[in-house]
Amino acid sequence: MVLVRDSQHGCETLLVRRNAQLSFHGGAWVFPGGRVDPEDYAAAGDSDDVIAAGRYAAVREAWEEAGVHVAHTDLRLFSRWITPEEAPKRFDTLFFVARATTDEVRVDGGEIHEHRWMRPQEALALHRPGEFDLPPPTFVTLTQLAAHRSVAEILTVIPACSLPPFMPQLRVMAEGACCLYPGDAAYGDYDLDVPGPRHRLLITESGWCYQRDPTD
């Protein structure tokens, strides 16, 4: 659940810090979220519609992890991330964006230990020196949000931002790694220098850089 709000400093989003003892991204700053449960499919009224069930799951997790109420009808699908087939543990993750309500954030103190409302640019700046642990999907989403100045602008451009699911392909480089996404000229290939459009995340010791050429 990517909650966004307007402030005097610009558009902000809610990030929560996962318990450092968790095996999956322990200590990382992420958006509130979790798994889709059978009750979410029941609420959606369709046992096969993962996106509809995902809306109810996002709403439920926002309440359980942050104490925030959001209506499932207010959610906009922003992106979908699917781990590669060869990954030992696979995930199909939906990212929804919604305007935040006025509810006061209350983290559960178990899975989530801390929260912060932040401008995306601020979170990305803290990530550069290693002060802020961001998983790649969170980093990419924050980079996309940082291009917009207000909640209205974000919600307006979402329908035009439809992309194939992010299905990363990892390539090792001398200076680090490169995550390729559909739409990159090198996707499905091993030549990172092949001419053509770019849609990738460079992960190096000098910093991370999300590259995505404009699409028609």
Do 174 and 156 reside in the same domain of the chain? no
- Token pair of 147, please? 């291009």
Which CATH number characterizes residue 139's domain?
3.90.79.10
Query: With contact defined as beta carbons under 8 Å apart, do 140 and 166 qualify?
Result: yes
Do 43 and 100 reside in the same domain of the chain? yes
Do 152 and 173 reside in the same domain of the chain? no
pLDDT at residue number 191: 93
Do 6 and 96 reside in the same domain of the chain? yes
- At residue 76, φ and ψ (nearest 5 deg) are -115, 130
Q: Which among 162, 177, 202 is the end of a domain?
A: 162
pLDDT at residue number 53: 94
Do 65 and 30 reside in the same domain of the chain? yes
Tens of pLDDT along 130-142? 788 999 999 999 9
Q: Give the domain extent around 187.
A: 168-216
Query: What confidence tier does 62 reach under pLDDT thresholds 50, 70, 90?
Result: very high
Q: How far apart are CA 142 and CA 128, in angstroms?
A: 13
DSSP states along 138-197: HHHHHHHHTT-SSHHHHHHHGGGG----B--EEEEETTEEEEE-TT-TTTTSS-TT-SS-
Residue 207: pLDDT over 70: yes
Encode burial over 192-213: b for 16+ CB neighbours within 10 A, e otherwise. beeeeebbbbbbeeeebebebe
Query: Model pTM?
Result: 0.92
Could you give the number of structural domains in the chain? 2
Do 75 and 133 reside in the same domain of the chain? yes
* Angle, in degrees to the nearest 10, between helices 120-127 and 136-145: 140
Tens of pLDDT along 162-187? 567 899 999 999 999 999 999 999 99
Do 20 and 67 reside in the same domain of the chain? yes
Tens of pLDDT along 2-61? 999 999 988 999 999 888 677 667 688 999 998 999 999 999 998 789 999 999 999 999
Do 117 and 184 reside in the same domain of the chain? no
Chain center to CA of 69: 19
